[in-house]
Amino acid sequence: MLAKRIIPCLDVFNGKVVKGINFINLKEIGDPVEHGALYSQQGADELVYLDITATHEKRKLLSDLVRRIAENINIPFTVGGGVNQLSDADALLSAGADKISVNSAVLLNPSLIDQIAKSFGSQFLVVAIDAKNIDGRWVVYRNGGRIATDRELFEWAGEVVLRGAGEILFTSMDHDGVKNGYACKELAMLSDALPIPVIASGGAGAPEHFLEAFKTGKADAALAASVFHYNEIAIPELKEYLHQNNVTVRL
């Protein structure tokens, strides 16, 4: 059985790591390179860096930041934000990113998924899906959770798989930052329906929430931010807890 992955997420705004609740009320936390190096030392399996305003403000994530990250950590990391065309993906991968994450751009131009997968391989492509439950329907949002689309979570997830996505990063906007646990029901539905790994995002507040994401939600990886940023959960202790509860992790 493949080991379940623990993935700290570093939201980047103006070159600094930030964290908010329900995608708003951002608070500056620190330097993205220093945080990434620390998590690498603590035993994180991967990292995700998301420039959360790159698409909204029509900016690109600077390649020199990606190079600095690559020079200072020794675990795989994914970079997203402002990837609007094939050349953007090429620039980030060339700068040292192990994978790239796309979200808003592929909602506007789904064929970009096909282009990236064909050019670089599905294993390098993570499609992030931000969704909110509105009257029982999981509506997909773009531009950092600012703009609702006409796409629905499960049908959109199915389409991105067919187009060549290698992984799906599902963030429940309702759970994001409130630390009450992941959207395990929806995670399990995605995991059961899709042939590619599903990363859980949004809602981690205690070790039990990670356990639920893996056991009940059937997630392949669990992503979290504030519990790691504020030292509320230590990665080595979290992994030991999961191991003791029969979850396969890399210790």
Q: Which tens digits make up the pLDDT trace of 173-219?
A: 988 777 889 999 999 999 999 999 999 999 999 999 999 999 999 99
- Determine the distance from the C-alpha atom of residue 9 to the mean position of all C-alpha atoms in its chain, rounded to a whole number: 7
Catalytic positions, please? 11, 130
Q: Which domain holds residue 163?
A: 5-244
CA 48 from centroid of its chain's CA atoms: 6
Q: For 42-175, list the strands marked E by DSSP.
A: 47-51, 77-80, 99-102, 125-134, 137-142, 147-152, 167-172
Measured between alpha carbons, how far is 123 from 101 in angstroms, rounded to an integer? 11
Domain contains 115: yes
For the chain, the domain total comes to: 1
Task: Examine residue 229 and state whether it is found in any structural domain, yes or no.
Answer: yes
Domain presence at residue 48: yes
CATH number for the domain including 65?
A: 3.20.20.70
Mean pLDDT of 144-160: 94
pLDDT in tens, 31-79: 999 999 999 999 999 999 988 766 555 555 568 889 999 999 999 999 9
Does residue 250 lie within any of the structural domains? no
Residue 164 in domain: yes
Whether residue 183 is contained in a domain is answered as: yes
Tell me the two tokens of residue 176. Answer: 């994001």
Taking the C-alpha atoms of residue 24 and residue 43, their distance in angstroms, rounded to an integer, is 29
- Residue 251 falls within a domain, yes or no? no
Q: Provide the pLDDT for residue 229.
A: 87
On whether residue 85 sits in a domain, the answer given is: yes
Quote the pLDDT of residue 55: 56
Give me the residues paired with residue 142 across strands. Answer: 147
- Helices and strands in the chain: count of H runs, count of E runs: 10, 12
Query: Looking at residues 84-103, what average pLDDT do you find?
Result: 94
For residues 70 and 68, give the distance between their C-alpha atoms in angstroms, rounded to a whole number.
Answer: 5
pLDDT in tens, 154-178: 999 999 999 999 999 999 998 877 7
Tell me the pTM.
Answer: 0.92
What is the pLDDT, as a whole number, of residue 81?
A: 83
pLDDT over 80 at 142, yes or no: yes
